[in-house]
Structure 1
Amino acid sequence: MPDTPILQILDLFLSFQGEGHQVDILKGVNLNIDEGTSVAILGPSGSGKSSLLSLMTGLEKQTAGSVTINDHCLDNMSEDQLALFRRDNIGIVLQSFHLIPTMTALENVAVPLELAGRKDAFKIAEEALGHVGLSHRIHHYPTQLSGGEQQRVAIARALAPNPKIIFADEPTGNLDGKTGHKIVELIFNLQKTFNTTLILITHDTEVANHCDRILHIQDGLIAETAPLKDATGKVAE
């Protein structure tokens, strides 16, 4: 008997009422994602990929359909229940770093752990910053860090609680190409090290090709293609 997928989406619809007409964003998405895998979601601007991420993380409510993560159905959870569920199961990395400017890197990573009641919050936060190569910058404030370093802090903050799933929405969008490439390598290395499920929203096909699966969202539906490999079976650059 195969293991239950860590993420299950069934007949997911999302619609908004526009000026005198209905705007359909998602039109019956079905998707299963296995634990420990990496999945890229590609799509043009306005295709609904960020909306899909919002539904998968419980930040928005779908018009119809169901979202289940780690055997927990999100559909009927209250806002407070969803917040607690995200705290204990989900890490989110965005292209905007969303660091608290008056807190050091260590304090930024420790905050969600402290809110979860972890007495060892600062120890875990320091270890997480070590995993992203920032042991020497833990007492620096965001304004004292480069863009790449700030994104590393955001990644450490997402990983520190040891979530079941990491959602990354265009995590290199505010970085230059060289720094972005290093951040992508870091994310995939950490995903493999901790066997975390990774769901990556991106417009970059080269980044997507590093994932186990590639999903394309267009016209409110999802199609799947295989990552490109070279003759040796490695990811094609």
Structure 2
Amino acid sequence: MEAKSWYPYDFQQALQNSINETDVDWFLNRPDRAPCFLYGASMLPTVLKHHVGLGQSHNIHSTMTQATLFGYQLYEFTESNIPAIIKSPSPKSTVEGLLVFNLDATQRRDLYEIEAGLMHLTPVQVQILQKTQSNTHNFRMVDAGTFTWTSRNCIGLSLVPASVWSVDGFLESPLYRHISSSQHRCDLAEPQLPARDFSYYPADTKQQGDVDLMVRQYGSVHSIEADEPEWF
């Protein structure tokens, strides 16, 4: 995906972000923090923060990176242009999106509650481009969860002749303007709350000498209720 110059700054940063392999390892080894593959409006950090209850000052884009899902095809609901992905008979079919690391169980559950009316939570593997210790890049397959259309009834769905859902129209919509304004108003309404680093990068933890410090500082990890699907 191209980081167009008129895109919101946080979205441009997410599209251009290449996470260090050590940090990827650290994110993947955190308990109950399975990454999520996003391919619709939630690819936009402002929308994602709105969905999971984070203020606009959170730099969630630092935990996001471009990703490719193989073996799926991109569709849209004809009347609403909302995207959906469906398993493809061809393993070479791809869907492009963004992978977000480090959402806790409550935040992932918030995403599920938004998507569950239409989609099913599905375990997948996606490919990312990570930065190596020698400052080069290599591809890596990562286990993640995403939301897929699994019903055999595809009435009302149209195949998208591309591997990525275009956010351009949504960015120009009243809905996005409303979400963006709401996010900024919430930050202005709570000026006493400092901007919090959402990256939780390993260097911060090592300096403190205590992984649990992050849990104490940013809140406890909540368990998903038994009647909701588990993340992988």
TM-score normalised per structure 2? 0.22
